[in-house]
Every structure is written in structure tokens, then in C-alpha cells.
Amino acid sequence: MKQEYNFMGILRTLYLWRRPIMYVTGGAFALSLVLSFLLPVYYQGKTVFYAASQDLFKPEKVFGGSNSDMYYFGGGEDIDRILTIGYSSELINFLVDSFNLYQHYDIAPDKPRSKYNVEKHFLGLYDILQTKRDALELTYEDKNPEMAAIIANAARDRINTIASGLIKDSQQKIVTSYQIAIRDKENAINELLDSLTYYREKHKIYSPKEQTEYLSGRLTELESKLIGTKAKISSLVNIRGRTRALNDSLSILRANQDALEQELLVLNSDTSKSSFNLRNFNQAKGKIEILEESYDRANSQLSADRERLKFFKAALTLDISAVKTIEEASVPVIKHRPKKSIVVLASTAAAFLFSIIGVLLIVAYREVDWREITKPEEDV
């Protein structure tokens, strides 16, 4: 009989096979109903939290040393860091060891694939995801409702410990680097101070600016006095019939002239070893000024580094959480899975569809002469 491959033909075929289809569908319904009651029941523990901003760990933010605003809740990078930690081996190993999950999952710990199996089983029950409001939702499923809540909270707390530890470790490294830098700068400052003391004692230059002003003023003063003294001497020399008193005054003026000329000679001499020799003074003054400038600058940098070190040490002692808990995981009272009604309906629907497909295939190919198709070509 020639088959009718149209909609009415398909409906007529299904009507003729209605009983087998009903039997298969009903059997699937009954079997899935029984099996749904045999499936293990899982409860879900759920905790919700936000990632804290790294600003809370920065001393310049915490102690008011920054002009920018401080954010309390973390952004994309902070969330990514928490998600990475949430699936890290360190977290999983901690939970496996802390709650003896080998025994809890009935997995022998001494087998070659034991570690892989327990991690795979755990990850099948554990999840952490970002919500549409940028919160983090951590869930864990277990047959024991109390265990589901305990492990969910323990996972969140361990994430906080690991994240805080990473930041504290970075802060400790910064503190150590500052301590090393401060120690090196202190040694450098001591060397500068030794050099500065040596050149000050050698050249008797303790205040280059003030001593420069003094020597310049003294040189001008001496030259002015010498000119005046010479003028007085010249005027006395030209007086006829000088008295004894005038001769005595002339002698005093000439002695003053010699003293002034000698002092000027000392100040202007290229070979004098006097502390106030201008040539020696000018040669040593520049080196001492450079040493003083370097010493002051190094001291300023050292003071700034010491202040920063205080801030970092203070930040290191702060007890700040890397996550902000919004919702603790409480002991669930309603099972999370399996959804028995969904299991039964899905199984029944699948059986119904496959039975229809099976009927159509049977009807379509039952008149095919399979022996003719499989006959060897030489027999054709």
C-alpha cells in the first residue's frame, strides 16, 4: 500500500498506533515517578556578599593623605579577584581537608584519581557567581542541610582570609622595602655628614652664605679705610712745621695703613693659609654648599619615607574585611533538587515524542525489502 506522507496521513498513522504510544508514555511516566522518589535530595546553602574596595587597605585613602574619593565597595577588578580566589585550589583544598569531604562523598583518599574526583564532585555542588547588582552569590549543595549552610559560610570566610592575606602580604613587602630604603638613606646621610664635617673643619667654613657676606663686606670696609687712611697721611705729610702731636698722629696712621694693607694682602693672597683667604674660601665653598644641599635633600626624603612607613605600618594593623557580607547562609528547610514534577514531566514528554518518532519510522520503512537492499551487487 502506498504511504500518504501528509499531515492527515501522519495523524491517521498515529491514531492507529495510539495504544502503543500510550503504553510507552504511561510506562515512562510511572517509571520516572518511581525513580524521582529514589533520587537523593540536595539542600542549598546560599550566602551573598560584596567585594570590598582596595581603597580600604591603602594608607593614603584611610588616613586622609589622598585628594581622591575613597570607594568602599569594589569594582570589576575586585570582583574578578574574589571570583578567582573562589575557584582556587587553595580554597578547595582547605574545604576538603576541613570537612573531610573524602569521607563525606564516600571517595577513597588513597586512589590515584582521588584528589581529582573529590574536587570534581565538590565543584559539581559548589558555585559562585556575580549577580546583576554586582553582588557575589556563593552556593553549596549537600544532602545534609546543616552541612550545606556551614560549608557555604566557611567558603566565604576563607575567601575573605585569602584575599585579605594577599593584600596584607603586599603591604608587608612595601613596609620591608621602605625599611630597607630608609636604612640605606640613613647610611648615605651619615656619609654625607662625615664629609661635610671634614670639609667644614678643614676650611673653617660653617655657614657659606654668612661667611661670604662677611668677607665681602670686610674687603670693602678695608679698602675704604685704606683709602681714607692714605688720604689723611697725605694731608699730614703736606703740613709744614708739624708739631710732635701731628707726627705722632702720622705715625699711628702709617701703622694703621700697614695693618690694613697686611690684612688685604692676607685676604687676596694666593698662597695664604688663612681661613679667611678668599681664594681658598671660594674653592671650598662650592663643595660644602653641594654637600649641605645634598644633606638637606636626603634628610627631607628620609623624613617623608619615615612618615609613609608609619602609614603603611598602621594600615598593616587594620583589621579590614575583603568582603562585605550581605546575607549569611542559613540552614535550608526546603530542598533545592531534584524537582520531581519537572523530572516526571520531562521524562514523560520525552517518551511521548520518541514514541511518535519511532512509530513514524516503523511505518515509513516497514515495507522496505531489506534483503533486496543488502543483496550483493553481483547477484543483482
Same domain, 278 and 328: no
Residue 366 in any domain: the answer is no
Examine the domain organization and report whether 93 and 129 are in the same domain. Answer: yes
pLDDT confidence tier of residue 125, bands split at 50, 70 and 90 = very high
Model confidence pLDDT, tens digit, residues 79-120: 899 999 999 999 999 999 999 999 998 999 888 899 999 999
Q: What is the mean pLDDT of the chain?
A: 79
* Highest mean pLDDT, choosing among 214-223, 255-264, 275-284: 255-264
278/295 same-domain check:
yes
Q: Say what the pLDDT of residue 265 is.
A: 66
33: cell is 515517578
**Residue 268: what pLDDT?**
66
Render pLDDT for 314-325 as a digit per residue (tens, 0 to 9). 777 777 788 889
What pairing do the DSSP bridges indicate for beta strands 43-51 and 126-130? unpaired
Same domain for 141 and 240, yes or no, is no
DSSP 329-369: PPPP-S--B--HHHHHHHHHHHHHHHHHHHHHHHHHHTT--
Task: Provide the CATH number for the domain around residue 111.
Answer: 3.30.1890
Look at residue 346 and tell me if it is in a domain: no
For residue 225, pLDDT beyond 60 = yes
Residue 69 confidence (pLDDT):
59
φ, ψ for residue 116, nearest 5 deg: -65, -45
State yes or no: pLDDT of 208 exceeds 60: yes
Q: Which residue has the higher pLDDT, 98 or 33?
A: 98
SS3 content of the chain, % helix, strand, coil (to 5): 70, 10, 25
Are 185 and 287 members of one domain? Answer: no
Same domain assignment for residues 60 and 163:
yes
Which range, 13-17, 91-95, 174-178, is most confident? 91-95
Indicate whether 360 belongs to any domain. Answer: no
Q: What tens digit of pLDDT does each residue of 34-89 get?
A: 776 666 788 999 999 998 877 666 666 655 655 555 566 677 788 899 999 999 99
Structural domain of 171: 41-203+318-339
The percentage of residues in the chain with a pLDDT greater than 70, rounded to a whole number, is 74
What CA–CA distance (Å, rounded) separates 181 from 137?
A: 43
Burial of residue 295 (CB within 10 Å: 0-12, 13-18, 19+) is middle
Does position 263 have pLDDT exceeding 60, yes or no?
yes
Q: Same domain, yes or no, for 308 and 182?
A: no
- Residue 376's pLDDT is 62
pLDDT value of residue 338: 67
116 shares a domain with 49: yes
DSSP symbol at 100: T
C-alpha cell at 5: 506522507
pTM assigned to the model: 0.63
Residue range 6-23: average pLDDT? 78
Q: Does the pLDDT value for residue 159 go beyond 90?
A: yes
- Select the highest-mean-pLDDT range: 241-250, 261-270, 277-286: 241-250
Return the closest-CA partner of residue 285 out of 214, 189, 188, 187: 214
Identify whether residues 62 and 125 lie together within a single domain: yes
- Is the pLDDT score of 129 beyond 70? yes
The arithmetic mean of pLDDT across residues 366-380, rounded, is: 58
Pairing of strands 323-327, 126-130: unpaired
Same structural domain, 199 and 237: no
Number of domains in the chain: 2
User: 6: pLDDT confidence band, cut at 50, 70 and 90?
Assistant: low
